[in-house]
Structure 1
Amino acid sequence: MKLYQGAIRTTHFAISFLFAFCILTGVGQAAEKADEKKEEKTISEIASNSDRHDGLFTLYTDRKDGSLYMMVSPEQLDREYIYFAHTTDGPVEAGHFRGAYIGNSVFSLKRHFNRVEFVEENTSFYIDPDSPLSRSADANISHAVLAVQDIIASDKNSGNILIKLDDVLLKENLLQIKPTPDPDAKPKDGFALGNLSEKRNKITKVRNYPANVAVNAEYVYENPAPVVYGGEDITDSRFVSIEVQHTFIAMPNNDFEPRTDDHRVGYFMSRVTDLTTHESAPYRDLITRWHLVKKDPSAALSDPVEPITFWIENTTPLEFRDLVRDAALAWNPAFEKAGFKNAVAVKVQPDDADWDAGDIRYNVLRWTTSPNPPFGGYGPSFINPRTGQIMGADIMLEFSFFTNRLRTRAALQEIAGQRHEPTGNQAARFCSLGNGLQLSNMFGQQMLNAAGADSALAQQLVHDSMYYLILHEIGHTLGLNHNMRATQTIDRPFDAERVAAVGLAGSVMDYPAVNVAPPGTPQTLFYATSPGAYDDWAIEFGYSPALADAAAERARLEAILERSTDPALAFGNDADDMRSPGKAIDPRVNIYDLSSDAINYATNRLGHADTMLDSMLARYTAPGETWQSLHDGFLVLMAEYARSAGVISRYVGGVYIDRTPAGLGSQDKPYTPVSYDDQKRAMAVLNERIFAPGAVPVTNELISHLQQQRRSFDFYSVTEDPKVHEWTLAMQKGVLDHLLHPVTMKRITDSRLYGNRYDLATFMDDLNDAMFAADAGGNINTQRQNLQLEYVNRLAAMVKGDKKSAYDYPSQSMALLHLERIRQQLRKRGRLNAETQAHNQHIRYVIE
């Protein structure tokens, strides 16, 4: 019976299994048929429920859910396009700001069976097409598959295919948007974006034109429990939005001729390395420049077929518009030397314009007023990386930098010599001129007020600074990078005839010191108001039309470049400048300097700052006003002390560079150390004006009035008392950062082999005297105590460093020698007050 029941159960199970199998098979077959039906969906079916956008690529926006589709024709596959991206809005703390250019590359669309790949092409190398090596042109060079999308519909007759574009754009596929975090940073160190949302991102705008398509996307980054909430420009740090415009551009099909870069002149460039040449410097780098063509090629001076046209955005304050226009047009005389008249044109965007600044067909001078501005001016451009042709440009101008709103943090960083600016590839296009101009203008305004100057000079200061900023940023959009050596070409900056004859600087692409005349001296220009000799020469090199014969063209360009030996055409870019401790070697290439004797100019500037400190309290005492302006004015003066000290300090251990090719010019050596006399002179000024007791003559009465205006509970986590000891030491530390930098000290020793007479022993004797000689026999004030202990701690760290120390042995030995001398000197001191005794005991503790 049990066997019978078991057989029945087995039979029942088998029948049930077979029935279920049949059902599942039927369901599976039905699903397969449904899939087949789904795969057979046509483009027209999707298009019927969508809004169509005609242009470079035909786009469709689904009317129900907003999905964005892109149609690709067979002719558009395996063809190169230019990709360009910029931030349309985003908080600065998140690493973004309106107008920031964040992506520029070449990509192609490739079909692989039932999918389409977005592939970024590598444009960094050249291989001679006539060389047999060209057959292995892609060897060991990686391209990047940025995104892959399934084909969701097709048209059998045309061969067109359809992909879902928002799946490409609403993730960080085409470029990285969230900045890479510092691996050494802790969560509490600063604001950080959360993770990219899965549901909150969206397409916000679609614009399509025959030669480009632009799609704006909003990215939302989520962090449910942020550690740092960010500033007031971040509404809710749990959900932070960044909007980016992605633009696909048709590869230009024109007669633009690439021009190769040369190290003697400064253009932005598209880097290209020749893999088939035998040259020791296998560079075929292409300068970035606009496509200018003469209307009349036979004329020595001709209008262009199409000028470089800038539009003044309708957000521009009315009172600035004429100035903006005039500054932009001031570049036209430089182009005349290249054979073009009216090369630059300026128009004003109508208030009822049907386009905005995001339309890349227009080059726009834009204005913003931001809560946390990252710049005063910013002039980027985007290019065809294959040729260097500039395709478009914008200039961002920040209104807040022409107001008295001091960014206290920036001022304190300037006092400490801490300029946190990008490095690597980003550094080449980074521009912080506007930041510096604001502090310079505030200092200049103080000098004018102290001298009792009339309002016309104050207006000229604002005019000259804005004019210079626009000249500078326009220069960037023309392809020029910084020339940080240009402000040393003028020998008499307060001689009106001399300034009228040669200008205030060789180039408007430098970061100059504000040229405020000392009391009793007539004012010339505060800043250069026209492109300089270097700018004219650079434009001639970059934009003068090429000759048809290749050999003749090479000779023509070389003849232009050979003029680089003219001192007025001196050039050094950001990589050459000595703005930061341990960076670069030539003190003539620097920021915030002026005149051919920068040591003397900066020394006089320190004297002017002293004079202003004497009268500062009286100048800022106004009935009914708080002391905020006095507090800010004091920080501005301290920042100017730090700037001037930084300029002077770089001559210690400096080496002049001459990049003239062999056989040309003066035949100077490529490297010539700064003279013994100038290094001694620089150290003497630093001793007297920065390190000596009372070097910064701040009265107790002034200090007691340095009060910030209270705002709500902003003092909750900080104390508001004036921290003059801290500020003074920060300035002094900024100078020591250079003088005692391992790179500087090594160079002092190395450069003895090729002419440096200011050896390490002499330098350390002078520095040690600056620290201790002035008060060796008596009591030491608290500011000097701070400085001396800072110095001794640095020497001790040099000696006690591990085997991986960055200091060479001669530097460590010299540090040990002077620690011993300091220890012996402390034994000789007589009766001292308790503060000095405690200080001396502290020094002994550090040394022993």
Structure 2
Amino acid sequence: MRRFVLFSFLSALLFSLIASHSLAQSTISEKTEGMQKYEGFFDYWWDDTTGKIWLEVDKLDQEFIYVNSLAAGIGSNDIGLDRSQLGNTRIVKFEKVGPKVLMVQPNYDYRATSDNPLEEKSINEAFAQSVLFGFEVAAQQDERILIDITDFLMQDAHGVAERLSDTDQGNYSVDASRSAIHLPGTFNFPKNSEFEVTLTFTGSGAGSWLRSVTPSPNAVTVRQHHSFVELPNDDYQPREFDPRSGFFTVDYQDYSAPIGGEFYKQYIVRHRLEKKNPEAEVSEPVEPIIYYLDNGTPEPVRSALLEGGRWWNQAFEEIGYENAFQVRILPDDAHPLDVRYNVINWVHRSTRGWSYGSSVVDPRTGEIIKGNVLLGSLRVRQDYLIAEGLLAPYEEGIEPDDKMLEMALARIRQLSAHEIGHTLGIAHNFAASTNDLSSVMDYPHPRATVLPDGSLSLEEAYDTDIGEWDKRTVAYGYQDFPDNVNEDEALEEIIQETLDMDLLYISDEAARPQSGIHPKAHLWDYGTDVIDQMNHILEIRQTALNNFDEEVIQMGRPMADLENALVPIYLYHRYQIEAVSKLIGGVNYAYNLRGDGQANPQIIDGDLQRDAVQSLIQTLRAETLALPENILDIIPPQPAQTPYSREHFRGYSNPMLDPVAMAEVAANQSATMIFNPERGARLTTQSARNPDLPGLMEVAEEVLNATILGEMNEGYHGSIQRGINMAVFRNLVGLASHENASPDAKAITKMVLENLQVSLTERIFEIDDPTWNAHFNYILDLIEQYKEDPESFSTPPAPYTPPGSPIGSGKTIEYGCGIFPEGIPLGNLR
């Protein structure tokens, strides 16, 4: 028996050795016999019997670009996994080590740009590289190697499982038994090889967002795309970044730079564009920049997006190009993630949300390889809804002329131009709205006009072209200079000419509502004077509320639908609150360089800051925030089988519309801006430097004297004012206990609370109204609770606030460009 076992073992061992020897000796031709070959950048074969893809590596140690993307997404704005979403862009190369082939990603964040190979070697060895995957050599023929890349393609390269976990949507992983190569998205071309896979994620604990968009939440199926792309040739000349230019960048540290020289290097991100004749005043390009609109986009949106995208050709014409920028319809046989196409994708989600402009960028130089725009399809419907709320257009109960549609399409044209601008390499310019609408790279608010008869007009709701700043920025990034021109001097001249035109450029960090301090950089606003604009916005809001009745909806619609249009109208001033608040403790500044003549930072004038406080106090008055009672009398709860959505108010009196909770929500937005911890710190520091400037104590007392310590309205307006008071108190205590508040801001706010306690104690003995008496006693009780244990104290939460940005009233996560799905590797997404 033992002899038989030994014989069997030796036989098996011999068979294994023979098989291994046979495998090692097989050629690529032998190994791939009978398989379907795809010839292109990397030749590869599809094995239908095993469901595998075999790749021929004939470019060992030769770098190329690897991009992963999401071809078919999940459809939830909150989760942030959209169709045609770009992932990471990496430079990689294949290295053979014995029987293995490694996919290696060099580290281009740290470089040596000298000609000394030993200096370059020292940098390469100082910082980590990344081996992204390892493959076994399946066959070899001359210098060509065959590897099985199926497992590489089938991994969760886009981080779908991680994203689901991060958004509390469950714990998922790839189920290989339900995943496969997706051949319709797998193709090959001379300069790019494209692969696509169907991945099914299984798991448990599906969150509500995921359950709302998947037929079976325990099995989430998407498609991921992989692109291997030839590196561009060396004819492209990187252009150095200037902080005044308005461009995105690729950055690296140059350890070969001389001591005292520029160590931190930045190139602007842009497409390659060259004139056929650089000497000519006007010339066609060697190759135009062509964008392709998603062929699944319906009319009339299709025509609007084409028109808005083509606005950019104006900028290229001004710098001497003819037909340099074009927008066409994507061919029916083209794949939107094919790296050869710049694509404007029309993306559907279950809720409205942001649109994005992202790019595949060569990290060595900043050259854009592919522009990729994602436009959320529900945005146009939201603008249409806002127009209905403003115009109350259904007098006869049927649809009137196309005023609402024209307004919505005007916004879509602007949105197309805006997101394409990002994929041209251009950042936001949030100062454009106060600078004669000089850029399409701002976030625009719809412009409305109050007519003499008390109605509203939206005739010029949105701009109809790119602006002057956009043209100047394109000139900096894309001007092609003749050989006899000093490029550095010519670029500086472009910048100086732009400054001489008083075209201000201020981007994201200065405009965000919580952290922004610039008096002229705002989201969703227009007009040169933000305080005057607040008055105008409040007038439009009140006019729309006064006109708000059943004529907002068409005949036959549920009356409860009125609330859909009411929410963005009632909160119509929410963005102007953010704009005005930046004057308080604000600082005016520019992205100035030494010697360029621009002014140094200047604190906002004290009187203007005080005017801003008074402007915001308008938004904390009962007469401003009290919803007209006739509206309360016509909006019923949602009918059966029609659930409330995120776009509706929630209140204390559910299911009926609650005007007190609505007022508290609106007031909470103003109070949050006023009692922002960074703003509080600036107020204390600025007033310490200059006693003529308002300090935090002054601002807090002004707000309290107008609200909690102000007039005690009776009846309905009294209820509204008490809701406003709670919003003010909540944010005042929030500042006193905020972990990021400065010591001075905390100390002053606590003193303000002490003073408030004294004042309310005195007031209680002076009033007869039992409701107001109870209200003040409630606040006093909360102050005592806070003083006894400030670490664990928390005020009653604010009522639910319907989401705002993007304009209107989907909930999103804000990022740098802001604004991106958190945790997703989005490359140069803006």
Range class of TM-score, shorter chain: 0.7 to 0.9
1:196 offset after TM fit, Å? 1.8
Give the aligned partner of residue 534 of structure 2.
602
For 1:362 and 1:807, the matched residues in 2 are separated by: 49
Q: Name the structure 2 match of 1:498.
A: none
Aligned to 1:721: 656
1:677-730 C-alpha deviation (Å, 9 max, x unpaired): 221111112212x21223213123312333354352736999532133333222
Q: Point out the more displaced range, 21-30 or 104-113.
A: 21-30
Matched, 1:645 2:577: yes
1:59 CA displacement: 0.7
**3-state secondary structure, aligned to 2:264:** coil
Provide the secondary structure at the position in 2 that maps to 1:562.
helix
Match of 1:464 in 2: 410
Aligned to 2:174: 196
Contact 2:585/2:679, CA 8 A, preserved across alignment:
yes
User: 2:435 & 2:632 partners in 1: Cα distance?
Assistant: 39
Residue identity matched to 1:177: V
AA of the residue aligned to 1:810: D
1:712 corresponding residue in structure 2? 641
Q: Which residue of 2 aligns with 1:420?
A: none
Alignment correspondent of 1:124: 109
| Counterpart position of 1:702 | 631
Whether the 8 Å CA contact 1:310–1:346 is kept in 2: the answer is: yes
Going from structure 1 to structure 2, the CA distance change for 1:567 and 1:515 (only over 3 Å counts) comes to: farther
Equivalent residue number for residue 586 of structure 1: 518
Give the match for residue 401 of structure 1: 379
Aligned partner (choices 768, 783, 794) of residue 847 of structure 1: 783
Show CA shifts across 1:434-472 (max 9, x none).
xxx56765565559999x998364454234212211221
User: Whole-Å Cα distance in 1 between the matches of residues 268 and 90 of structure 2?
Assistant: 16
Deviations 1:134-160 (A, max 9, x none): 4422243111111111111222xx221
> 1:197–1:219: 8 Å Cα contact kept in structure 2?
yes
Deviation at 1:165, TM superposition (A): 0.9
Q: Distance in 2 between matches of 1:135 and 1:625?
A: 71
> What does residue 82 of structure 2 align with?
97
Separation of aligned partners in 1, 2:583 and 2:66: 44
Asked whether the equivalents of residues 667 and 727 of structure 2 are also in contact (C-alpha less than 8 Å), the reply is no
Counterpart residue type for residue 726 of structure 2: L
- 2:239 aligns with 259
Report the Cα distance in structure 1 between the residues aligned to 2:736 and 2:364, rounded to whole angstroms: 52
Structure 1 residues 241-256: aligned runs within 5 Å: 241-256=221-236
Q: Residues 545 and 182 of structure 1: is their aligned pair in 2 closer, same or farther, counting only changes over 3 Å?
A: same
Instruction: Quote how far apart the aligned CAs of 1:836 are.
Output: 1.8
C-alpha distance 660-687 of structure 1, shift in aligned 2 (>3 A):
same
SS in 2 for 1:341: coil
Output the amino acid matched with 2:177: K
- Using structure 1 for the length normalisation, give the TM-score: 0.84
The whole-number CA distance in structure 2 between the counterparts of 1:789 and 1:846 is 11
1:691 is matched with which residue: 620, 643, 650?
620
Out of 766, 776, 789, the residue aligned to residue 702 of structure 2 is 766
With over 3 angstroms needed to count, the CA separation of the structure-2 counterparts of 1:58 and 1:195, relative to structure 1, is same
Structure 1 position 382 matched with structure 2 position 382: no
Name the stretch that deviates more: 552-561 or 216-225. Answer: 216-225
Matching residue's letter, 2:152? V
Task: Please tell me whether residue 391 in structure 1 is matched to residue 369 in structure 2.
Answer: yes
Look up the equivalent residue of 1:679 and give its one-letter code.
Q
Cross-structure match for 1:149: 135
Q: Which amino acid aligns with 1:115?
A: K
Relative contact order: is structure 1 or structure 2 higher (C-alpha 8 Å, sep ≥ 6)?
2
CA distance in 2, matches of 1:171, 1:729: 48
Once the two structures are TM-superposed, the CA of residue 77 in structure 1 deviates from its matched residue by: 0.8
- 5 Å matches for 1:427-438? none
Which residue is 2:511 aligned to?
Answer: 577
1:244–1:723 Cα change, 3 Å: farther
Q: What is the aligned partner in structure 2 of residue 218 from structure 1?
A: 198
Q: Secondary structure at the match of 2:290?
A: strand
Distance across 1 between alignment mates of 2:387 and 2:352:
17
1:786 aligns with 2:723: yes
In structure 2, what is the Cα distance between the partners aligned to 1:563 and 1:266? 14
Find the residue that maps to 1:303 and give its secondary structure: coil
Contact 1:603 1:644 in 2 (8 A): no
State the AA in 2 paired with 1:117: L
* 1-structure distance, mates of 2:16, 2:579: 76
Equivalent residue number for residue 732 of structure 1: 667
Give the residue type in structure 1 aligned to 2:575. Answer: R
1:168 is the counterpart of 2:105: no
CA gap of 1:181–1:65, structure 2 versus 1, over 3 A, is closer
Q: Does 1:363 align with 2:363?
A: no
2:479 alignment partner AA: S
Structure 2 counterpart of 1:507: 439
Of 320, 326, 332 in structure 2, the residue corresponding to residue 339 of structure 1 is 320
CA offset at residue 549 of structure 1? 6.2
CA distance 1:683–1:259, change in 2 (3 Å)? same
Among candidates 588, 602, 606, match of residue 676 of structure 1: 606
Any gaps of 5 or more consecutive residues in structure 1?
1-15, 407-436, 491-504
Contact 1:272 1:286 survives alignment (8 Å): no
Shift in alpha-carbon separation, 1:540–1:176, aligned structure 2, 3 A? same
Distance 1:256 1:524, change over 3 A: same
Distance 2:538 2:94 in 1: 60
Q: Deviations over 1:532-560 (max 9, x none)?
A: 1111100000001145368x211111111
Aligned pair in 2 of structure 1 residues 143, 443: CA closer, same or farther (>3 Å)? farther
Provide runs of 4+ in structure 1 moved above 6 Å.
447-450, 521-524, 715-718, 777-780
Query: What SS does the aligned partner of 2:747 have?
Result: helix
Cα drift, residue 387 of structure 1: 1.4
Secondary structure, in 3 states, of the residue corresponding to 1:293? coil
Alpha-carbon distance, 1:279 to partner? 4.9
Q: Sort the Cα spacing of 1:749 and 1:133 in 2 relative to 1 into closer, same or farther, 3 A.
A: farther
Structure 2 counterpart of 1:822: 756
Q: Which amino acid aligns with 1:720?
A: P
Deviations 1:275-311 (A, max 9, x none): 3434586332111211111122220110112111223
What is the aligned partner in structure 2 of residue 516 from structure 1? 448
Task: Tell me what 2:809 maps to.
Answer: none
How many residues were matched structurally?
Answer: 764
Over 3 Å counting, the alpha-carbon distance change for 1:438 and 1:243 in structure 2 is: farther
SS of the aligned residue for 1:272 comes to: strand
Q: Which amino acid aligns with 1:600?
A: D
Cα deviation per residue 1:355-405 (whole Å; 9 max; x = unaligned)? Answer: 232333223333344433443x433221222111111223333443323xx
Compute the displacement of 1:261 (Å).
Answer: 1.2
Q: By how many angstroms is 1:164 displaced?
A: 0.8
Q: Residue 261 of structure 1 contacts residue 287 of structure 1 at CA under 8 Å; is this kept in 2?
A: yes
User: Which whole-Å CA distance do the structure 2 matches of 1:819 and 1:284 have between them?
Assistant: 50
1:36 is matched with 21
SS in 1 for 2:56: strand
Mapped to 1, the partners of 2:337 and 2:668 lie a distance apart of 44
Amino acid at match of 2:463: A
Q: Tell me what 2:273 maps to.
A: 292
The 1:146–1:22 alpha-carbon spacing in structure 2 relative to 1, beyond 3 Å, is same
Distance (Å, rounded) in 1 between the aligned partners of 2:516 and 2:644: 40
Distance 1:401 1:106, change over 3 A: same
CA contact (8 A) 1:383 1:389 kept: yes
Mapped to 1, the partners of 2:580 and 2:111 lie a distance apart of: 44
Q: Do the aligned residues in 1 keep the contact of 2:271 with 2:424 (CA within 8 Å)? A: yes
Map 1:276-355 to 2 at 5 A. Answer: 276-277=256-257, 278-279=259-260, 282-349=263-330, 353-355=332-334
Calculate percent identity across the aligned residue pairs.
Answer: 21
Indicate conservation of the 8 Å contact 1:768/1:818, yes or no.
Answer: no
Q: In 2, Cα distance between the equivalents of 1:578 and 1:439?
A: 26
Supply the AA of the counterpart residue of 2:135: Q
Q: Secondary structure at the match of 1:85?
A: strand
Q: Which amino acid aligns with 1:511?
A: Y
CA gap 1:447/1:763 in 2 versus in 1, 3 angstroms: farther
Tell me if 1:838 matches 2:774: yes
TM-score by length of 2: 0.86
Q: Which has the larger radius of gyration?
A: 1
Partner of 1:745: 680
Contact 2:170–2:204 (CA under 8 A) maintained in structure 1: no
